[in-house]
Chains A and B, each alone.
Chain A
């Protein structure tokens, strides 16, 4: 079955630093990748959609300059949280899909900003 690898699974860092999260499709070409954020005991909220080779499309209320998304290849997308602050602490989940495929979710990254 389709596998999506997300790394790191857990990161703790100081306020003001930038954190990069990687999302890789291991056995298929991901033409579209999605980034979600989930706060404790809440649902998933879509942050942005990225198509390979194109700029990401951000959802309303998501700061483009704070959450930098790059989808440079058909197997890799990255989310960089720039100048992270405690309110950015959350569970970040990526998903990837190829043509005519459902979304396949990564294992998530738990980000804690001190």
Chain B
């Protein structure tokens, strides 16, 4: 059974600081997704990481994937209040079929 674990589950930080969210998964996969969810809303796709060593950046967010370590990171640089949300990583259970297994989510609160 594929397990996807995020760390931390809750994160409160000040604007301007940097932090990293970690996503570990238990079985081989080379396809990992990061999503953002605002309260009461559905998922917004942030990044799709398709291969070992993949790194993608959008604004203050940067995601990377190490398939050998079965680890992905979402790094936040110089956080701003608008980034407050819940962030999920998700991994394909069956490669190519996109049967996603989600992490528990990391609830990020950025304080002024």
Contacts and interface: CB of A to CB of B under 8 A. Distances in A.
B103 A43 contact: yes
Contact of A102 (B48, B103, B104, B105): B48
B111 interface: no
B98 interface: yes
A32 interface: yes
B45 interface: yes
B41 interface: yes
Interface in A24-78: 32, 34, 42-46, 49
A103 B98 contact: yes
Name the interface size band of chain A: 10 to 19
A9 B92 CA distance: 27
A46 B100 contact: yes
Contacts of A102: 33, 45, 48, 98
A21 interface: no
B62 to A, nearest CB: 19
Interface in B63-112: 88, 90, 97-105
Contacts of A43: 88, 102-105
Nearest to B4: A43
Interface in B25-40: 33, 35, 40
A110 B40 CA distance: 9
Judged by DSSP, the binding face of A is: strand
B99 A105 contact: no
A110 B39 CA distance: 12
Given A93-B43, A108-B42, A46 B33 contact: no
Contacts of B97: 32
Contact of A106 (B40, B42, B99, B105): B42
A6 B43 CA distance: 13
A88 interface: no
A53 B81 CA distance: 45
A93 B33 contact: no
Contact of A107 (B41, B45, B102): B41
Contacts of A105: 35, 42-43, 45
Contacts of B99: 34, 46, 49
